[in-house]
Amino acid sequence: MKRTASLFLSALFAGAVLCAGCGEAAQPAARPAPLVEAPAPAGRTVSGEEALAIALANAGVPESRAQVRKLERDGDSGIPIYDIEFETPYGDYDFEIAIETGAIVGADYEVQEEWVRRQPTRPVSPEEAKAIVQSKVPGLPADAIRIRRESGDGYGRYEGRAAFRGMVYEFEMDPGTGLIFDWTADLRN
């Protein structure tokens, strides 16, 4: 029980750090929204505003910090989607949200590593890193996440990959803060 609480608090701390320095009033950190959202009620589709809210929550970005570059209807592999692109002072984000369900069927974002390195440090173990990834993908078993430590650039990072429910996730995380600075999620048929 203590270990589970510790992992949850680590994931919660990582979300708080992601928003640190964003210029927002201090607020309790919210857990990132799941990558696969609950379906929209029958007969109702997700609006563009709702799709944007899903993307912002998953990325851990306050709406006030996002400059939306693109929010349009499109299609991917026969799935009607909202194609969403937004920027912050510290990163670029692209999301594909299924119009019929609100599920994230694609995501790609990169946060500037220099910005990550300026955030308060709290080193995370590989197990804590997995818990942070699991907070973004509810239901993802820890044993489905492959993670390794890389240090070729002198700073170090965790690099990882997971496959779950038709999605493939790849990420890079700063081990000193627990922040994911490179995230890709792709629906694979």
Answer yes or no: is pLDDT of 75 > 50: yes
Confidence of residue 138 (pLDDT cuts 50, 70, 90): confident
- List C-alpha distances in Å: 105 to 75, 86, 145, 169: 11, 17, 19, 11
Q: Is the pLDDT of residue 20 over 50?
A: no
Judge if pTM exceeds 0.85.
Answer: no
**Mean pLDDT value across the chain:** 80
What percentage of the chain carries pLDDT values higher than 90?
62
Residue 170: pLDDT over 80? yes
Residues 1-15, mean pLDDT to the nearest whole number = 35
- d(C-alpha 181, C-alpha 17), whole Å: 12
> What percentage of the chain reaches a pLDDT higher than 70?
77
Domain ranges of the chain: 2-187
**Which backbone phi and psi does 155 adopt, to 5 degrees?**
-105, -35
